[in-house]
């Protein structure tokens, strides 16, 4: 049910109905010129004789609407069919009208957020203003208080939505949901890393960039210690690992330069080594729905996980990067999954910074940009939290651009098994 409010425009007040939708109309004797000072076109002191506008439906629902992005459709009666004959406000912020008729007004939500906003429709010549409750959320925000002097190498999120960030000064910060920043650990043995995950017991596992070592910061914090050292070569290729993920059994799947997929247990025991792609660099590793997915230079591949010891089946190509449309000119950097099977692919492009940073690959194979035109490159690390938020490391050379960004996807992500072990 839409609870509506009608406001007199200065002479007299009329009561209207919504045929069962509206039970009570609250009439406020407030002059519209004071509430809506910009709407000179609809004051018409000698012509206020039109029927009061009525709102019967607003879409999309307020729960999935974003400020400065969502197209909002207002259905009803007694709107003006004339171009410029209507004005729409979200708690005083005027919306840009895309189309208008007697029964429908389509607007772009203005840049205002809140859970108790009010959509007001003012119609030329009508005596009354009609209003209905609505809310708008931020599509994305800068998160974690990362400043210009800080550069994030990689990050992870635990089961309580705490954010762990490795900075280029070899420190690891823990940032709580309330914004508290805690000096959590150090990586004194190395200056950079390609991936970080939360593992069993809340320990942090960190993949040193282009090396064959995974380090571990114990639960509660401290200095990173060497945890797993992989073989120097895989099928004749030098092992230089970039990314990893942890499955539900505690196995760690790592990949990097040379195309080798290395599988080890969180206890530090190597179960086996799989030569996966000859000479192709694996950029990102993610476990989803019984498969290990690999984001590579040439696209997306997957291997079925065959046992609780980490053995895998043959590789299957999911997406040829040459067929990724406009994204094929960008570098694939990171992958993650929604619970419904949508894959988010983070990218970077230094030659064309106007491109969208995140590609969505749907289970049926179709693709689209995530929130076209709303996000900035790059998306070096893309990590889903424990609810509807996705966190992105925008690791740009420009200090004004590099930030951690939190994006509202309006749906949950797939589990990161390491968080629950």
Q: What is the pLDDT of residue 276?
A: 62
Confidence grade of residue 26 (pLDDT, cut at 50, 70, 90):
very low
Of residues 6 and 238, the one with the higher pLDDT is: 238
| Phi, psi angle pair for 270, to nearest 5° | -75, 120
Angstrom distance (rounded) from CA 389 to CA 141: 11
* pLDDT above 90 coverage of the chain, percent: 71
Predicted local confidence at residue 12, as pLDDT: 30
Mean pLDDT of the chain: 87
Q: Please, which pLDDT band fits residue 231 given cuts at 50, 70 and 90?
A: confident
Interior/surface letters 382-392, b for 16+ CB within 10 angstroms, e for the rest: bbbbeeebbbb
Q: What's the whole-number mean pLDDT along residues 334-347?
A: 98
The verdict on 208 and 314 lying in the same domain is: yes
- Is 100 in the same domain as 241? no
Looking up residue 200, the CATH number of its domain turns out to be 2.120.10.30
- CB 149: neighbour CB atoms within 10 A? 8
Average pLDDT score over residue span 122-148: 94
Residue 29 scores a pLDDT above 60: no
78 and 198 housed in the same domain: no
Domain count, the chain: 2
Structure confidence at residue 14 (pLDDT): 31
Mean pLDDT lowest among 2-6, 79-83, 93-97, 223-227: 2-6
Residue 40 has pLDDT above 60, yes or no: no
With bands split at pLDDT 50, 70 and 90, how would you rate the model's confidence at 209? confident
Residues 88 and 166 in one domain: no
Is the pLDDT confidence value at 132 over 80? yes
Domain of residue 278, residue span = 140-420
285 with 164, same domain: the answer is yes
293 in the Ramachandran plot: left (φ > 0), alpha (ψ -120 to 50) or beta? beta
- Regarding whether 400 and 337 lie in a shared domain, the answer is yes
Report the pLDDT averaged over residues 59-76. Answer: 97
Least confident of 30-39, 190-199, 319-328, 348-357: 30-39
At residue 105, φ and ψ (nearest 5 deg) are: -125, 130
Same domain (yes/no): 355, 376: yes
Give residue-wise pLDDT tens across range 378-391.
999 999 999 999 99
Residue 131 has pLDDT above 50, yes or no: yes
pLDDT band at 118 (very low <50, low <70, confident <90, very high): very high
**Do residues 174 and 322 both lie within one domain?**
yes
């Amino acid at each position: 049910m839409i609870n509506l409010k009608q406001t007199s425009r200065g002479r007299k007040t009329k009561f209207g109905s919504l045929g069962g939708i509206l039970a009570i109309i609250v009439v406020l004797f407030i002059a519209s010129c004071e509430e809506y000072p910009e709407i000179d076109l609809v004051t018409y002191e000698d012509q206020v004789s039109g029927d009061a506008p009525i709102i019967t439906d607003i879409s999309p629902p307020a729960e999935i609407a974003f400020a400065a992005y969502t197209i909002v459709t207002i259905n009803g009666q007694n709107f003006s069919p004339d171009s410029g004959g209507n004005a729409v406000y979200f708690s005083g912020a005027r919306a840009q009208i895309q189309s208008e008729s007697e029964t429908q007004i389509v607007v772009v939500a203005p840049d205002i957020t809140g859970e108790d906003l009010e959509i007001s429709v003012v119609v030329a010549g009508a005596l009354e203003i009609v209003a209905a409750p609505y809310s708008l959320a931020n599509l994305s925000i800068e998160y974690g208080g990362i400043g210009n002097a800080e550069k994030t190498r990689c990050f992870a999120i635990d089961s309580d939505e705490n954010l762990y960030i490795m900075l280029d000064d070899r420190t690891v910060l823990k940032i709580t949901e309330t914004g508290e920043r805690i000096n959590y650990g150090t990586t004194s043995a190395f200056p950079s890393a390609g991936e970080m995950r939360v593992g069993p017991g809340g320990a942090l596992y960190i993949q040193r960039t282009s090396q064959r070592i995974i380090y571990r910061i114990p639960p509660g914090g401290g200095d990173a210690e060497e945890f797993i050292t992989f073989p120097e070569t895989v099928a004749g290729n030098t092992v230089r690992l970039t990314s990893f993920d942890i499955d539900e059994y505690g196995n760690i799947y790592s990949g990097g330069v040379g195309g080798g997929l290395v599988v080890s247990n969180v206890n530090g025991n190597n179960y086996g080594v799989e030569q996966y792609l000859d000479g192709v660099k694996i950029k990102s590793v993610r476990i989803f729905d019984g498969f290990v997915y690999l984001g590579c230079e040439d696209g997306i591949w997957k291997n079925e996980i065959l046992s609780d010891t980490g053995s895998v089946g043959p590789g299957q190509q999911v997406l040829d990067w040459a067929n990724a449309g406009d994204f094929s000119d960008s570098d694939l950097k990171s992958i993650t999954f929604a619970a419904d099977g949508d894959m988010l692919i983070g990218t970077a492009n230094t030659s064309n910074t106007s491109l969208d940073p995140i590609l969505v690959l749907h289970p049926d194979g179709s693709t689209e940009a995530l929130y076209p035109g709303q996000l900035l490159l790059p998306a070096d690390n893309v990590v889903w939290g424990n609810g509807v938020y996705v966190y992105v490391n925008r690791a740009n050379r420009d200090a004004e651009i590099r930030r951690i960004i939190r994006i509202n996807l309006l749906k949950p992500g797939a589990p990161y098994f390491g968080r629950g072990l």
